[in-house]
């Protein structure tokens, strides 16, 4: 049986540290996993007897469910560590929590945390494989992988294809991770957003546009709309949601142009209809949002399959 040159790793913490070979391996591996969904038995015995723990310090029903479905389809036992009701609210430190989880002999930990770097810290202190499901403004590697897989489905050759990322670039780990992976796959990446939400210190390859007209004149192949993070708007970066929609949202008028030019639409979900995206765009045939959800399960299965927990003492 042919073995691959791509060695397993213990953790998946960010996109930056993934080599192009590792990315290609994960994208290729996700394909056969997606095909399983068409079988009557959607489950394979690969991780039988292994335990996957989801540890979400920030709520995210979608990402957590996607990981849970992925782990279930690999026959792992999945447990959710309910953070808000746990000792964490009683003041237990993260490392104490990890000690507890280590004693439970968990094989994989899926973690989301509001502070950047927490998954890496945990990875250092546990033998379990750690999958970063989003940390602060830092990284969301499985989102990047599912986005890349989705783009590859419509453009098998990603080289020189153009993606425009729209919205709050500054506070978005999705923007960071997804732009990084698209760049690694040879795509041209541009961003569009309010001046207050586009980082000044962005990488050289990343063009910034300040209005839709200029951005669409760049002829993107994919427009990637970010979610307006209502819960993170304690600080005012733009005057109002209606104002955001008018200036930076995909309005009816802009959608007509997108549709006319056959540009693909993506969004990490959940969608704020009428804010970043107009209702009718949701049923557009080149809107890939539902595909992204399905692909999320397949790529997370590929990630779980690839990672290998550390050895017991």
Of 250-309, which residues contact other proteins (CB under 8 A)?
A: 305-306, 308
* Length of the chain, in residues: 313
Site membership for other proteins, residue 108 (CB under 8 A): no
Site membership for other proteins, residue 33 (CB under 8 A): yes
Q: What DSSP state is assigned to residue 139? A: B
Site membership for other proteins, residue 8 (CB under 8 A): yes
Nearer to other proteins, 40 or 235 (CB): 40
Residue indicated by tokens 């992204």 = 292
Nearer to other proteins, 44 or 206 (CB): 44
Residue from the set 25, 56, 137, 248 that interacts with other proteins by CB under 8 A? 25
Site membership for other proteins, residue 31 (CB under 8 A): yes
In three-state secondary structure terms, 151 is helix
Stretch that binds other proteins, among 3-11, 123-131, 161-169, 221-229 (CB under 8 A): 3-11
Residue from the set 16, 17, 35, 242 that interacts with other proteins by CB under 8 A? 35
Residue from the set 6, 69, 282, 293 that interacts with other proteins by CB under 8 A? 6
Site membership for other proteins, residue 1 (CB under 8 A): yes
Query: What distance in Å separates the CA atoms of residue 173 and residue 139, rounded to the nearest whole number?
Result: 5
Residue indicated by tokens 């780990």 = 173
Query: What distance in Å separates the CA atoms of residue 15 and residue 140, rounded to the nearest whole number?
Result: 8
Residue from the set 40, 85, 240, 283 that interacts with other proteins by CB under 8 A? 40
Site membership for other proteins, residue 4 (CB under 8 A): yes
DSSP strands (E only) in 68-171: 77-81, 108-113, 129-135, 162-166
Site membership for other proteins, residue 3 (CB under 8 A): yes
Query: What distance in Å separates the CA atoms of residue 295 and residue 310, rounded to the nearest whole number?
Result: 27
Find the Cα–Cα–Cα–Cα dihedral 222, 226, 227, 229, rounded to 10°. 180
Nearer to other proteins, 274 or 310 (CB): 310
Query: What distance in Å separates the CA atoms of residue 110 and residue 92, rounded to the nearest whole number?
Result: 19
Contact 181, 148 (CB under 8 A): yes
Stretch that binds other proteins, among 42-50, 77-85, 183-191, 291-299 (CB under 8 A): 42-50
- Residue 52 backbone phi and psi in degrees, to 5: -115, 130
Residue indicated by tokens 């079988």 = 39
Residue numbers at the binding site for other proteins (CB under 8 A): 1-4, 6-8, 25, 28-29, 31-33, 35-36, 39-41, 43-46, 74, 305-306, 308
């Amino acid at each position: 049986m042919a073995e691959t040159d791509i060695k397993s790793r213990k953790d998946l913490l960010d996109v930056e540290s993934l080599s192009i070979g590792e990315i290609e391996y994960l994208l290729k591996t996700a394909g056969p996993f997606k095909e399983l969904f068409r079988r009557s038995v959607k489950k394979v015995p690969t991780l039988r007897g292994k335990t996957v723990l989801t540890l979400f310090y920030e709520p995210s029903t979608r990402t957590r469910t996607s990981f849970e479905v992925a782990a279930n389809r690999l026959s792992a036992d999945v447990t959710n560590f309910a953070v808000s009701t746990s000792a964490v609210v009683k003041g237990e430190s993260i490392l104490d929590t990890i000690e507890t989880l280590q004693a439970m002999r968990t094989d994989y930990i899926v973690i989301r945390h509001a502070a950047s770097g927490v998954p890496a810290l945990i990875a250092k202190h546990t033998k379990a494989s750690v999958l970063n499901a989003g940390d602060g403004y830092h990284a969301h590697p499985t989102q990047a992988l599912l986005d890349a897989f989705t783009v590859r489905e419509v453009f098998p050759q990603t080289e020189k294809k153009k993606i425009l990322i729209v919205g709050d670039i500054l506070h978005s780990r999705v923007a960071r991770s997804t732009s990084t992976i698209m760049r690694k796959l040879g795509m041209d990446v541009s961003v569009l957003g309010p001046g207050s939400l586009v980082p000044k210190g962005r990488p050289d390859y990343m063009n910034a546009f300040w209005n839709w007209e200029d951005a669409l004149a760049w002829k993107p192949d994919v427009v990637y709309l970010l979610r307006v993070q209502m819960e993170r708007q304690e600080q005012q970066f733009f005057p109002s949601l209606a104002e955001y929609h008018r200036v930076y949202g995909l309005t009816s008028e802009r959608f007509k142009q997108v549709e006319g030019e056959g540009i693909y639409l993506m969004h990490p979900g959940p969608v704020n209809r009428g804010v970043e995206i107009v209702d009718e765009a949701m049923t557009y045939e080149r809107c890939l949002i539902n595909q992204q959800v399905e692909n999320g399960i397949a790529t997370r299965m590929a990630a779980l399959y690839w990672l290998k927990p550390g050895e017991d003492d």
